[in-house]
Structure 1
Amino acid sequence: MIPAIDPNVDYKALVRQAYNACAETYDASRKTEPGIEMQALLDRLSDGDAVLDVGCGAGVPIAKSLAARYRVTGVDISPEMIRQAQQNVPNGDFMCGDIMTATFPPSSFDAVVAFYSIFHLPRAEHPDLFRRVQRWLKPGGYLLCTLSHYSEEGYTEDDFFGETMYWSNYSLREYAEILNEAGFMLLETNSTGSGYEETSEEVSEDHPLVLAQKH
């Protein structure tokens, strides 16, 4: 783990480059079917609802699973990931870009999901991201996202599928405050694995999984 807080470094470009380079390997690793961690959200949605997948990657397994019942829009910073998502989930709508510059009309979505993606944004942007998501959600809409237990301003590791990757996050306690200030009510806090396990029961890492509702 190497500290990564240099204001002159474009860490988003590093994330884009890393995912472009490891897209096929990463896609092959993310075959775990969504388990009970998704059920709390699915129980609250209706067929045909609109769902935004933030950091959708190659669309597997989250967007693909959701697209069987819902209208799915996916956004990812990696062009190669988006290319694969379009192949893996032909009935989804995918766009490449920085979620912080994406534009959607207010009340566009019934739910927003973000698995293993928010921590690739500099954490100074996280409060604004949640405010943007809150605007995009319909009244009473839901956010389901993986966060972090610990506070790290920014760091890189050079062994992410052979590439250097960047992470930045607040602690779970801080996220609870940020979400509340952004207009969300916390409904459930559970945990999930890394997403690389063969099944949802084989957890090698522990990521907080938060379900929140727009006030």
Structure 2
Amino acid sequence: MGIDAPDDLETVRSSYDAVADNYVRMVGDPGPWLRAALDAFAEQVRDVGPVLDAGCGPGWISGHLRDRGVDVSGIDLSPRMVEHARRRHPDIAFRVASVTEVEPEPESLGGVLGWWSWFNLPRETLPAVVAAMARALRPDGQLMIGTHCGDGDRLRTRSYGDVPVRWTTHLYRPHEVSDMLTAAGLEIVAELRMPPEPPSQAPQILVAARKLGGR
């Protein structure tokens, strides 16, 4: 794929390893609107091809898609997150990898999910990842990205139970996410914006885009 590994990749990896156990305890059901978006995604891609959950964490989203008939596999940067995913969902294939390392074959996937898992990527890296995942989609396949909305960057030094971490959350305006997807040759099919919760956090955005050329 030819994407350079981020300079802080190992720092981010060790940070997510450190918070993984607390993350499993603290992060649960994403709520009805996001569940509905996942269900719509599953309905539209399950017959197109397999789905890659790229940044799967402990596997909650992969399991949700599997329960809706999707052939899904997952990757995550954090070995500890992948341990949790394999324990919770032993019937799903998970492996340790950065999204910058994977090289899916062109038109090999029905869907790719970046579910609040790509915001740590450097700004100059994210468009290349989006383009590579778009190439991997079959016609009518979809790429769905969830991320934090706003301007600028936020350095996190403690998270998930006040555990010391170090990663940068890059914030994006909705049009910036949509522009990356359309620049990769995809057609925007849905956009969901949500207020911050708790109010001290950034607003959230979820954007889905389809690869043209199908029905």
- Counterpart in the other structure of 1:127: 127
Q: Give the C-alpha shift of residue 11 in structure 1.
A: 2.1
- Comparing 32-41 with 11-20, greater Cα deviation is found at 32-41
CA-atom RMSD in angstroms: 2.3
1:48-96 CA-to-partner distances (Å, cap 9, x unmatched) read 9411101101102x01111222211111111111111111111111111
- 2:3 — aligned with what? none
SS across alignment from 1:43: helix
| Contact kept in structure 1, 2:193 and 2:204, CA below 8 Å | yes
The 2-side partners of 1:79 and 1:43 are apart by 30
Amino acid across the alignment from 1:121: L
2:173 to 164, 171, 175: 171
Distance 1:48 1:181, change over 3 A: closer
In the alignment, the residues of structure 2 paired with residue 47 and residue 133 of structure 1 have an alpha-carbon distance, to the nearest angstrom, of 18
| Secondary structure of the corresponding residue to residue 52 of structure 2 | strand
1:11–1:193 distance in 2 versus 1, CA, 3 Å: farther
1:10 paired residue number: 7
Matched, 1:191 2:190: no
* 2-structure distance, mates of 1:49, 1:108: 7
Inter-CA distance 49–172: structure 2 relative to 1 (3 Å threshold): same
User: What SS does the aligned partner of 2:133 have?
Assistant: helix
Letter in 2 for 1:163: P
Q: Given residue 65 of structure 2, which amino acid in structure 1 is its aligned partner?
A: L
Q: Verify the 8 A CA contact 1:120 1:168 in the aligned structure 2.
A: yes
Q: CA–CA distance in 2 between the matches of 1:174 and 1:186? A: 12
- Residues in 2 aligned to 1:151 and 1:214: alpha-carbon distance in whole angstroms: 28
Unaligned runs of 5+ in 2: 1-5
Give structure 1 regions of 4+ aligned residues with deviation exceeding 6 angstroms: none
**Pairwise CA distance, 1:205:** 5.7
Between the aligned partners of 2:194 and 2:10, the Cα distance in structure 1 is 27
* Structure 1 contact 77–96 (Cα < 8 Å) conserved: yes
User: Under a length normalisation based on structure 1, what TM-score does the superposition of the two structures give?
Assistant: 0.83
- In structure 1, how many angstroms separate the alpha carbons of the residues matched to 2:195 and 2:133? 24
How far apart, in 2, do the equivalents of 1:13 and 1:66 lie? 29
Does residue 74 of structure 1 match 2:74?
A: yes
Residues 183, 214 of structure 1: 8 Å contact kept: yes
Q: Hey, what does 2:86 align to over in structure 1?
A: 86
* Equivalent AA in structure 2 for residue 190 of structure 1: L
Q: Does the C-alpha gap of structure 1 residues 169 and 132 become closer, same or farther in structure 2, counting only changes over 3 Å?
A: farther
